[in-house]
Amino acid sequence: MTSRTPRDSRLRIVRPRHLAAARKAVASRTTRRASRPPEGTPAPAELARLARFFLADAVRLARWSDTPDGHAVLDADDAGRAATALDLTPRQVRAAWDAARLAGLVELHAGTVRPGWRLRAWDRDDSAVLRGWVALFDAWPLVHPAPAGTAPAVSGEIVEAVPQLLSVLQLSGTMPLPLLLDLLDQRVTELRTERCEVPYGPGPLAPEPAAAEPAAPVPATDPDALPELLSWALRGLAAVGALRLSADGAALTPLGSWAVWVKLEQICVAAQSPAGNIEQAAGAMLLGCARLTPGQARAEYRAWLAARPVGSAVTDLLGAARGEDALLRALAFEALRVVGAPAETAVRAAVDEPGLRPYALMWLAEHEGADPDDVPSVLTREESTWLWVDTAAAVADHGETELLVRHLESAVQGTVPALLDEVRSVGHPRTVQVLVAIAAAHPDPALAKAVRRAAFQVHTGGS
C-alpha cells in the first residue's frame, strides 16, 4: 500500500515476475486441459536416462572426436583408432558415428567435426537429451537403409505407413507379425488410393498441355515384398531404440511409446487450437498462446516449432520480439526457452540490441543453469528498470487497471520518487504512455499527480 504523500510512498521489494504480469494481462478462464502421456509412461528424467543409456556409445565417440585425432569423415583408420580407444568393434563405431550425427551430438563445419549443441548440454539438460533421441527416432530410415533394389517410392510408402503401425502398437501392446503385416498392407493400399483419387463434379477443364512429358509411374508395392519391407521397418525402429522385437512380435519400448505420444500430441494441439496456432506466423501464434496457462502454452510452442526448421523459427520469434508489442517480446523469449540450446547463438547476438537485452540476458542465465530466483540479478539497475517499463507497457496494452497498479510492487526501487527518477532516465520509448496509464489508474491522487508530472517532464524533455 502507498501513503498519500508521494515522497513517503514505500514500495514492497519483491522478485520481479515480468512474464507473469504480462500473461495475467490477457488471462482467460477458458483454457484447455493439458494432455498427459499414456498411463505407465516413465517420468521425463527416467526417459532421459534411458536415452542417455541408448546413446552412450554415440556420446563417447562424439567426445572422442573432439580431439586433434577427430575428423569429419570417419575413415577406416579413424574407426580403428576410435575402436581401440573406446573398446568397441569397428561396426559399433560406425553405428555410434551415425547415431551421433543424426542426434545432433556432432556437427560438420568446413570439413572438420565439432561437438554439437546437444553434446554440450547432454549431462545437464534432459529436454536436450530427449530432443536428440527423437531426432534419431525420426531418422530411422537413414540408420537402417532399405533393402537393396527397393525403389525410393516404395520405401517412401513404408515410411509413410509406419506412424499408423506405431499408433496401433501403442494401443495394443505386443502385436504378432502377421497382424502387423496385414495392417501395413491395408495402409499402403490406402495411401496409393488417396494419391490416385480424381475429384468429381463440375469445374473448368484445364487445356491439355502441348507435348507434355508423361509422368513417371509410381512402382507398385509387390505384395510378396511386404514381409521384407515390414522386417526392414521393424529392425530400423528397433535400431533406434523405439521397438523391442521378440518371437511373439513387436512392442514399443518406453521411449518409443513416449515418442508416439509426443507426435500425436503435436497434431492434437494444433487441431484443438482455436486459432490454428501451428499455421500462424510467430506474432499471431504468441498472441494465441497468451490466454493459455504456461504449461499449455509450452505445448503450443512445441507443436509450432515442430512444424518448421529451428533456425527459421528462432528468427521469426526474435522478429516478433523486435516489434512494438511488449507482450510479444516476453512471450517470444518464453517460446525460445522451449527451443533451448539451438537458440543460444541468436539470443547471444540479441544481447547487443537495447530492446531485447534484458530478456536475452535472463534467457542466457536460465540456459546456463542459474537459480530462477537469481536470474533477475544478472540485470543492472538500469536494465531492470527498462524491463519494468516494458512489462508495464504490455499490461497497459492488454490488461486491466488493477494489474497496472499492482505492477508498481514489482519495481526494484524502494520509493516512488526513486522509481520515477530512474524511469525517466532509461529512455524506454513507451515511458510517457506507461506513466500516463499508471496516473490514470492509480487511486491515490497525490501519487497520480506525481506520476503525471513525471510523464510531462519526459514528454517535454524537462528534468
Strand partners, 391: none
d(CA 458, CA 443): 22
Find the helix or strand (DSSP H, E) in which 344 lies: helix 344-350
Whole-number pLDDT of residue 237: 95
Q: Is there a contact between 198 and 280 (Cβ–Cβ < 8 Å)?
A: no
Contacts of 301 (CB under 8 A, 6+ apart): 289, 334, 335, 338
Contacts of 347 (CB under 8 A, 6+ apart): 318, 336, 360, 363, 364, 367
Whole-number pLDDT of residue 72: 52
Residue 41 DSSP class: P
Most confident of 28-37, 214-223, 381-390: 381-390
- The full DSSP string for 173-207 is SSB-HHHHHHHHHHHHHHHHHHHH----S--PPPP
Q: Rounded to whole angstroms, what are the CA distances from 22 to 27, 114, 373, 408?
A: 9, 40, 18, 13
d(CA 235, CA 237): 5
Q: Rounded to whole angstroms, what are the CA distances from 299 to 29, 34, 122?
A: 18, 8, 22
Q: Where are the alpha helices (DSSP H) in 103-173?
A: 117-120, 126-138, 140-143, 152-172
Q: Please say if the pLDDT value at position 214 is more than 60.
A: no
Q: Where are the alpha helices (DSSP H) in 26-125?
A: 44-54, 56-65, 76-86, 90-102, 117-120
- The pLDDT tens digits for 397-434 are 887 667 777 777 777 666 677 878 888 888 888 888 88
Q: Is there a contact between 128 and 74 (Cβ–Cβ < 8 Å)?
A: no
d(CA 351, CA 360): 6
Q: Please say if the pLDDT value at position 234 is more than 60.
A: yes
Whole-number pLDDT of residue 193: 84
Question: pTM for this one?
Answer: 0.55
Residue 415 DSSP class: B
d(CA 152, CA 145): 11
